[in-house]
Structure 1
Amino acid sequence: MRNQLQQEVGRLAAPVVPHFSAGRARVRLGVNTAIHDDTAAELESFARPLWGLAPLAAGKGEVPHAELWQRGLAAGSDPGHPEYWGEPGDRDQRIVEMAAIGFALALAPETFWDPLTGPERDRLARWLLSALPRETADNNWHFFPVLIGLGLDRVGVAYDHEPIAARLARLETFWLGDGWYSDGPTERRDYYVPWAMHFYGLLYARLTGKGDHFRERAARFALDFRHWFADDGAAVPYGRSLTYRWAQAAFWGALPFAGVDVLPWGEVKGYLLRHLRWWQGRPVTGPDGLLSIGYGYPQPALAEQYNAPGSPYWSLKAFLPLALPAEHPFWTAQEEPAPELPAVSAQSHPGAVLMRTDGDVTLLAGRQHHAWVRHGAEKYAKFAYSSRFGFSLPNGRLGLEQGAYDSMLALSDDGGAHYRVREEPMDPHVTADTVRSSWRPWPDVEITTWLTAAPPWHLRRHRIRTARALHTAEGAFAVDRDAGTDRETGTGYAWASAPTGFTGVRDLDGLREGEVIDCLPGTNVLARRTALPMLTGQLPPGEHWLRSAVLGTRNGPEAEAAWRRPPTLGDGT
């Protein structure tokens, strides 16, 4: 398996090679539409493959075309070269990519430092040093100067460590306890916790021999994080930067790298390898073999404002264990299947309740939000996120087909033309099986929502206090309709089934009408065309209660049997 992963890194990096510039410092993988400038985007495409190539080199694997990166490091850091990357400014994307270079120097100086001449090393060191005093975003970015410093330490470049200590001290303020960080002074506790905060902390602990608290925290986090992965290796798609794809499992590779043996090595190995296998064969590359912007397929609408063409190569973080020798117990252990976990896991720090149904995972969400990123409401504030069904983004705001309102209660005050949804949950509270939060789609409309795990169902209860008349539309999950669907609707229910799964929604009061919407193509993060069961109704001004039960599971007799046995008003509602 180690040899296969070494080959996989080479396979992923190979399509990048034809896009190197003449001086080897710039890599143009496409037209940059990110908020940072084109030079930073071309540096990003150059640097991000190093997240996989550096562990490959450190583990004595052969780095294909290593000379391209060696020549690029020399040219890009040379102010006199036409392909110079430029001085980093405050909050500059260059700082992010300089961290990848620092990581490469820290892990594999024999490949990325030693081949340079003395003047080339001096220029690269001076360029990296220029990032250390720069202002960064007040979140996981504080780790980037730390990683740059780790590279400088490894190659013997002196610098003032006091600003690095200040970075580490600021990062400590984001520690929440119980294994969890926030990504800065925000409500975000998404995949940046495992693939950034913990990942970088574990790098620091391993490479400095300090920071045992990073190991201890990661050990606690692992006990929660394993609930985010389905038995087949799929992670729950949730939050921003999903185009980083299998970086979702990078945490599992960082544990053995830093010697954190909280779980049996075979179990840790299973989480990582099943996840990587889950991605195999999915259409995540373009015709040229380059990784695309998107999640389950090329989907540019999923991109954040900071995603340039090279952004998806952040996914190579998952290959960190390649830095370990073949005799490490992570590699020699027999891969173990996912252990039997409790059906429900309540996690207060991320504001989530996770439930397992036939090996799939559904995350019930009620705390996090991020209004700045594109489609922030859909990435954070839907009611449920599924390892089987993913979630959907709008392709416009006119009508239900464009909105693709899966796992949302959409509200319209103009007769069903335009809808609003939950964007910013307030006053979150998590109990053993329920997430509660409040939200205001208009100043004169207040909604409190309770989401309760009742595997294989989840239950929703909404108390709506409105000063205006509303049209309502509440969605189940969206199911892939490309291979055909069976569907049925009536007063109080709607369901749709396809080879990929069964999903339906029941009105526990039997009042709303059921329908199945064919959403516009390219809205769901896993399936290109979907069908979405929904309940629709109308509310006059006043106080109202909406209660529903949603089922989402693999198709088959068990799904049909579950649908015939819906929960009642006494089951958590």
Structure 2
Amino acid sequence: MLVAVRDHASSDHASIVPPGPTGAFGADVAGLEGFARTFLLAGFRLAGENGADRLGLAQWYADGLAAGTDPANPGRWIRPAESGQAKVEAASVALILDMTRPWIWDRLDPTVQQQVVDYLAVVVGDEGYPHNNWRWFRIVVQTFLRSVGGQWSREDIETDLSLLDSFARADGWISDGPLRAYDHYAGWALHLYPALWARMAGAQDLAAGRAERDRAALDRYLLDAVRLVGADGAPLLQGRSLVYRFAAAAPFWAGALSRVPSLSPGLLRRAASGVVGYFAPHVERCGALLSIGWHGPWPAVAQHYSGPSSPYWAAKGMLGLALPASHPVWTSTEEPLPQEGADQVFAVSAPGWLVSATRSDGIVRVVNHGTDYARAGDRGGDAPTYAQLGYSTATSPRLTDAGRIDPLEQSVALVDASGRATHRTGFTTVGVGLVGDGATAAVGSSVARAHWLTADPDHLDYGPGPSGEATDVALLRTLSVLRGAWEVRLVRVETLPDGPPPPAGLTLRVGGWAVSGEGPGQDRSRPADVAAAAGVAGLRSVVVGAGGFTAAGVRREHDVSPLGATTLTPWVSAAAVLDRWHVAVIGLDRATGDDSAPTTATLPHVTLSGADHVVVRWPDGTASTVPLAPAATAAANLALQDAPMSTG
């Protein structure tokens, strides 16, 4: 990767712009990103090799530093005062100059050192940093400046640390700002930078009072994160900035760097190398260049701020190279992921996720009752990578304009006669938790003020869904019971407490997993059984109406997913009836040669026990009883009954 980008560098090495459109911020930002983000990878390699440098990395990047920070150079870097994106890249430059101090910084000419200090110092006192992970960038830059005698502000650092602390949530999770923004930024930024910052030369006294607390939060977060990696190494295809790909491995290397107590070095390496290995064949096929995409080029996966060099933040996923060969993370034997040893089912309270990972197919499935990149009560549109009810390591949301305005896959929506579907952003989380001795099933519930949205035409995609004019329609109460490959989803339509009844003629629609791949795939519906199934690329997605639904089908689409040209999404629907529970059984697994809907014997059986409970009898013979009353579905009040059942 480091050698491949040199063909796209300026003659003075200050700018690297890989092939492709220069992005919304232009060539100057793209060139700086290309330098700074590959500088991360070069620095990790130099640090891990203790300065051994057969590729001449130190001098190559030192030349770029000299040219980029020279104010008289026509090709100089765009400065942090001129572009917000330069504030991000300045942190990478400062971090690696600190990490590789003996081999780059200490050997720079004093004039160049002063140029670098002058370039970085403009961030001191700058109030233009967003209230999210960006605050770590100002902290890192000023910490480096402090270590080399440059200008810095203790007040800035303490202010930023205090704001970042306010993003801490339960069980070591961190939200990327004050919204319900849970995604890979928790690991590749909000847990990574504390681990790296505490080791900077200028941070020793600043970090002393918090380093152990940050380590403990990382340790607890990793207990969940390690179970969110598919057996094939695939990370969840969820959240923004997916073009960073294997940056998702960064928190596992941070755990190794910090020597967290709860995960062994061999397990951390298995998770990190698995994520990098998942993408490696695709990168190799692209000539070791990273494009805007997921596997190969797929521009629709980008956010507004993405440019041709943006994907090189993937370098964070190679932080392990900064650890010497003698480190336990390299000398230990890789251990299997927890889901490679046994099925996993658990709940994560901060993002409101129910999680099931199955040993038989290596897929991790997340059912989402807490994340939408918004606040409870907001009335925005659903961001496909945040607000859907389900995400997995084997599927992708529809990442197109249609996916933003027409929620289908992993959705519960009311649809009018014109085909307009409601959105759920701003929903209220009722609770998530476990039922069953030995965590038999995960249960979660949320209530959405379902609304139609007339989207703002000038919406820029930074992660959240589109804004616009919202029209409230009804309350949609959703309860999920998750175990293995199956989710039992119960949905109830209720009148708004402060509004009129929903209009007549609405359809309640529940969408299942969207499966994507090359080739035509197969889709089959059984109208008499209210069942639909779709198969492509070895995956099977199933939705079966188990109560109240009257119709089923599969939507076929092309070029809406980075995982393949064909996308198939099964669904069930019914005329919307107020105050009645509708029940659907939703499944995702690896196809075993038959992509049709499963037989009755292999489906969960669902029984509504009056108005109080639902009983789910799972294919393996166990049963879970879950209360339907809204207050009782909160995690602290989830009831349990579990007993062996006859498969007959």
Q: Within 5 A, what are the aligned runs for 1:11-410?
A: 12-30=1-19, 34-60=23-49, 61-62=52-53, 64=55, 66=57, 67-89=59-81, 92-135=84-127, 136-155=129-148, 157=150, 159-207=152-200, 208-209=203-204, 210=208, 211-282=211-282, 289-339=288-338, 340=341, 343-357=344-358, 358=360, 359-370=362-373, 377-396=383-402, 403=406, 405-410=408-413
Return closer, same or farther for 1:395/1:490 CA change in 2, 3 Å cut-off.
farther
Q: Is the 8 A contact 2:286 2:296 kept in 1?
A: no
CA distance in 2, matches of 1:287, 1:297: 7
- Amino acid in the other structure paired with 2:482: A
Return closer, same or farther for 1:376/1:543 CA change in 2, 3 Å cut-off.
closer
Q: Within 5 A, what are the aligned runs for 1:433-444?
A: 433-439=442-448, 440-441=450-451, 442-444=471-473
Deviation at 1:33, TM superposition (A): 5.8
Deviation at 1:423, TM superposition (A): 3.0
Deviation at 1:19, TM superposition (A): 1.6
Q: Which residue of 1 aligns with 2:557?
A: 519
Q: Is the 8 A contact 1:235 1:387 kept in 2?
A: yes
Secondary structure, counterpart of 1:423 in structure 2: coil
CA distance in 2, matches of 1:510, 1:298: 42
Report the more deviating stretch, 18-27 or 324-333.
Answer: 18-27
CA distance in 1, matches of 2:554, 2:485: 21
Q: Which residue of 1 aligns with 2:535?
A: 497
Report the more deviating stretch, 561-570 or 304-313.
Answer: 561-570
Return closer, same or farther for 1:479/1:397 CA change in 2, 3 Å cut-off.
closer
Q: Is the 8 A contact 2:548 2:583 kept in 1?
A: no
Return closer, same or farther for 1:177/1:205 CA change in 2, 3 Å cut-off.
farther
Q: Is the 8 A contact 1:105 1:152 kept in 2?
A: no
Match of 1:475 among 501, 511, 535: 511
CA distance in 2, matches of 1:525, 1:347: 27
- Amino acid in the other structure paired with 1:390: S
CA distance in 1, matches of 2:323, 2:476: 51
Q: Which residue of 2 aligns with 1:533?
A: 570
Q: Which residue of 2 aligns with 1:507?
A: 545
Secondary structure, counterpart of 1:48 in structure 2: helix
CA distance in 2, matches of 1:552, 1:269: 28
Could you tell me which runs of 5 or more consecutive residues in structure 1 were left unpaired when the two chains were aligned: 1-11
CA distance in 2, matches of 1:375, 1:309: 28
Secondary structure, counterpart of 2:281 in structure 1: coil
Q: Within 5 A, what are the aligned runs for 1:439-450?
A: 439=448, 440-441=450-451, 442-450=471-479
CA distance in 2, matches of 1:391, 1:531: 11
4+ residue runs over 6 A deviation: 557-561
TM-score, structure 2 as length reference: 0.80
Return closer, same or farther for 1:486/1:534 CA change in 2, 3 Å cut-off.
same
Return closer, same or farther for 1:318/1:480 CA change in 2, 3 Å cut-off.
same
CA distance in 2, matches of 1:353, 1:483: 32
CA distance in 2, matches of 1:427, 1:263: 30
Return closer, same or farther for 1:21/1:316 CA change in 2, 3 Å cut-off.
same
Deviation at 1:37, TM superposition (A): 4.5
Deviation at 1:362, TM superposition (A): 0.2
- Amino acid in the other structure paired with 1:57: L
Q: Which residue of 1 aligns with 2:523?
A: 487
Q: Is the 8 A contact 1:513 1:536 kept in 2?
A: yes
Map Cα deviations across residues 93-124 of structure 1 (whole Å, 9 max, x no partner): 11100000011111112343234211111011
Report the more deviating stretch, 333-342 or 53-62.
Answer: 333-342
Deviation at 1:556, TM superposition (A): 1.4
CA distance in 1, matches of 2:551, 2:596: 21
- Amino acid in the other structure paired with 1:105: L
- Amino acid in the other structure paired with 1:503: S
Map Cα deviations across residues 505-532 of structure 1 (whole Å, 9 max, x no partner): 00112633222221122x1232232222
CA distance in 1, matches of 2:119, 2:79: 7
Match of 1:463 among 492, 495, 505: 492
Q: Is the 8 A contact 1:53 1:63 kept in 2?
A: no
Return closer, same or farther for 1:206/1:87 CA change in 2, 3 Å cut-off.
closer
Deviation at 1:132, TM superposition (A): 2.6
Return closer, same or farther for 1:76/1:499 CA change in 2, 3 Å cut-off.
closer
Q: Which residue of 1 aligns with 2:605?
A: 568
CA distance in 1, matches of 2:510, 2:54: 51
CA RMSD of aligned residues (A): 2.7
Map Cα deviations across residues 118-171 of structure 1 (whole Å, 9 max, x no partner): 111101111111113212111111110122134335545463433222222221
Could you tell me which runs of 5 or more consecutive residues in structure 2 were left unpaired when the two chains were aligned: 435-441, 452-470, 495-500, 607-614, 617-625, 629-648
- Amino acid in the other structure paired with 2:39: L
Q: Is the 8 A contact 2:415 2:506 kept in 1?
A: yes
Report the more deviating stretch, 304-313 or 80-89.
Answer: 80-89
Match of 1:452 among 474, 478, 481: 481
CA distance in 2, matches of 1:375, 1:403: 10
Map Cα deviations across residues 301-327 of structure 1 (whole Å, 9 max, x no partner): 121111111111011101112112111
Deviation at 1:376, TM superposition (A): 5.4
Return closer, same or farther for 1:471/1:91 CA change in 2, 3 Å cut-off.
farther
Map Cα deviations across residues 52-83 of structure 1 (whole Å, 9 max, x no partner): 11110111253635233222211211211112
Deviation at 1:349, TM superposition (A): 0.5
Return closer, same or farther for 1:91/1:350 CA change in 2, 3 Å cut-off.
farther
- Amino acid in the other structure paired with 2:412: L
Report the more deviating stretch, 482-491 or 309-318.
Answer: 482-491
The count of residues paired between Structure 1 and Structure 2 equals 554
Report the more deviating stretch, 180-189 or 403-412.
Answer: 403-412
CA distance in 2, matches of 1:544, 1:89: 57
Deviation at 1:355, TM superposition (A): 0.7
Return closer, same or farther for 1:312/1:394 CA change in 2, 3 Å cut-off.
same
Map Cα deviations across residues 165-200 of structure 1 (whole Å, 9 max, x no partner): 222222122222421122121211221111111100
